[in-house]
Structure 1
Amino acid sequence: MIPDGTYTAVLDRFEDDLAVLEVAGEDERYELAVDQHDLPQPAQHADAVLEIEVADGALVDADYKPAESEQRIDDAQDRFDRLSKRPPSDDDDP
C-alpha cells in the first residue's frame, strides 16, 4: 500500500475503466489503479504527469502537469529517434 502523502505520478496504462499510475516514492515505486474518471479530463492519456495526494491507499486529489507531460513525451521521442538511427557499418568505410 502506498503511504499517505503527495507524489509525482505518471499514467502508465488503462485497464478497462481503470487508469494505472506509476508512483515514485522516496525509495520505492508503486502502482495505483484509479477510476479514470477520477483524473482531470486533460490528464486522461498515457504518459500524463500528475501530482497526486494519497490517503489510506486511495487517491484524494490529482493535479495535471501539462508542461511536465509534454516534456516527458518529447524526451521519449528523442530517445526513440536516437535509438532508431543505425550506427555506421564497416561496409561504409571508404
Structure 2
Amino acid sequence: MSDTATAVLDRIVDGTTAVLLLEEEGSVVDEYTLDVERLPDDGRHEGAVFTVTLEDETLREMEYRPDDERDRKASAQDRFDRLSERLPDE
C-alpha cells in the first residue's frame, strides 16, 4: 500500500543524510531519512517542501514544491511580524 504525504527538509547531516519531517494536516507525524543525493537538486536546502510517496515505508517518488515552500515562508514571516509588533503604550 502506498501513501502520499507532505515532507519538509528539516536538516542535512554531515552533508550526506537528509532528514525529512512527514506531515499530516499540518502536524509532524513521522521522520524519514535518506541519502541527500536522492533529493532533487533544487530542493537540497532546509525548509524545502516535497510531496512524497511511500510504499511499505520505502520512498518511491518525490516532487519538490517551491510554491508551497514560498507560501510557508511568507506565512511564517507574517506570523513573526504580527508577534513582534509593539503593543500600544496605555
> Which piece of structure 1 moves more, 35-44 or 9-18?
9-18
Change (3 A) 1:28 1:11: closer
Tell me, in whole angstroms, the C-alpha distance in 2 between the residues paired with 1:51 and 1:68. Answer: 10
Change (3 A) 1:28 1:64: closer
Who wins on radius of gyration, i.e. which is larger? 1
Aligned match for 1:7, one of 5, 26, 30: 5
Are the equivalent residues in 1 in contact too, given 2:21–2:28 (CA < 8 A)? Answer: no
Show CA shifts across 1:15-46 (max 9, x none).
22211111124797011111111110111111
Output the aligned Cα RMSD: 2.1
Segments of structure 1 that go 5 or more residues without pairing to the other structure are none
Identify, as 1 or 2, the structure richer in strand. 2
Tell me, in whole angstroms, the C-alpha distance in 2 between the residues paired with 1:35 and 1:60. Answer: 13
Tell me, in whole angstroms, the C-alpha distance in 2 between the residues paired with 1:89 and 1:36. Answer: 50
Question: What is the deviation of 1:10?
Answer: 1.1
User: Matched residue pairs, number?
Assistant: 88
Structure 1 stretches of 4+ moved >3 Å: 25-28
Taking structure 1 as the reference length, what is the TM-score of the superposition? 0.79
Residues 1:21 and 2:20 aligned together: yes
Taking structure 2 as the reference length, what is the TM-score of the superposition? 0.82
